[in-house]
Amino acid sequence: MHIRDNVFIVSGGASGLGAAAVRMLVEEGGRVIVADLQQEAAQALIEDCGPAARYVPCDVTSELDAHAVAQAAQEDGPLRGLVNCAGVLAAERIVGRDHPHLLETFERVIRVNLIGTFNMTRVCAQAMAHGAPADDGERGVIVNTASIAAFEGQIGQAAYAASKGGVVAMTLPIARDLARHAIRCVTIAPGSFETPMLSNLKSESQQALAMQVPFPARLGRPSEFAQMVRSIVQNVMLNGTTIRLDGALRLQPK
């Protein structure tokens, strides 16, 4: 799929990996809807990006918001891509000091990371399916963001790993389902990346994570995530799979 003159939605686009994807898509000549809860961060980003990017407030768990974002995108031209980056992290042990793992935490993480990804996917795929195909016959591409925690969840990550495992598991059925509409679906499973999500961890934990990466022995850069998004969008043979982007990191139990 060409990026130039096509319209893309980036959920969670106000920060971190999503913001890097927004910048890349704008640099490549695309038009981008930043769909996020964080208005201030999104406004700052779109001011930086210029008129090719605009902000539409969105909670990815809301059906109404998903429809509003898809509609806004279609006003700008044919919707050709969705990059699902919205996500939340949670760390909680199953057996706590005073109480078991809160069900509420588990439900919140599944709701945003898994159900939110599916909600945006279903609504945007419907919009893409109704568009005319591009020159190469392709109608659209969906890029999801899982995590290597889908494969090696750490202690305290039962909810997060389950949510990302769900994203990995639904990638192939979504790709198979949408193949008849010429829409692809590919998931990226990042290792540890330098974003506001990780900066909430203690600096020792961040350093420990960076040291565990075999090569390069550092945290990933959001621009490297965006580079992978660009490859997926542009390479029509990438479909129905999950790509690890982790410098060979295999997460340890803690």
Q: Does 86 bind ligand NAD (CB under 6 A)?
A: yes
Query: CA separation (Å) from 54 to 40, 47, 84, 219?
Result: 13, 9, 16, 29
CA 242 – CA 145 distance, rounded (Å):
9
Q: Does 59 bind ligand NAD (CB under 6 A)?
A: yes
Say how many residues touch ligand NAD, by CB under 6 A.
Answer: 30
Query: CA separation (Å) from 156 to 59, 74, 85, 161?
Result: 25, 41, 22, 9
54 is written with which tokens? 């605009």
Query: Beta 53-57 vs 79-84: how paired, if at all?
Result: unpaired
In total, the chain counts a number of residues equal to 254
**CB of 97: closest distance to ligand NAD in angstroms?**
26
- In sequence order, the β-bridge partners of residue 237 are none
Single out the segment in contact with ligand NAD by CB under 6 A; choices: 59-67, 150-158, 170-178, 234-242.
Answer: 59-67
Q: Does 72 bind ligand NAD (CB under 6 A)?
A: no
**CB of 211: closest distance to ligand NAD in angstroms?**
15
**CB of 223: closest distance to ligand NAD in angstroms?**
12
CA 79 – CA 8 distance, rounded (Å):
6
Burial of residue 14 (number of CB atoms within 10 Å: 0-12, 13-18, 19+): buried
Among 3, 7, 10, 15, binds ligand NAD (CB under 6 A): 15
- φ and ψ of 82, to 5 deg: -130, 125
**CB of 188: closest distance to ligand NAD in angstroms?**
8
Helix (H, G, I), strand (E, B) or coil at 35: strand
Binding mask 134-153 for ligand NAD (x = CB under 6 A): -----------x-x------
CA 196 – CA 133 distance, rounded (Å):
37
Q: Does 123 bind ligand NAD (CB under 6 A)?
A: no
Catalytic residues, by residue number, are 160
Nearer to ligand NAD, 61 or 121 (CB): 61
Single out the segment in contact with ligand NAD by CB under 6 A; choices: 25-33, 47-55, 134-142, 188-196.
Answer: 188-196
Among 10, 14, 33, 90, binds ligand NAD (CB under 6 A): 14
**CB of 35: closest distance to ligand NAD in angstroms?**
6
Nearer to ligand NAD, 159 or 182 (CB): 159
Q: Does 81 bind ligand NAD (CB under 6 A)?
A: no
Q: Which of 234, 254, 237, 238 is nearest to 28 (CA)?
A: 234
217 is written with which tokens? 């022995």
Q: Rule CB under 6 A: which residues touch ligand NAD?
A: 11-12, 14-18, 36-38, 58-61, 85-88, 112-113, 116, 145, 147, 190, 192-193, 195-198
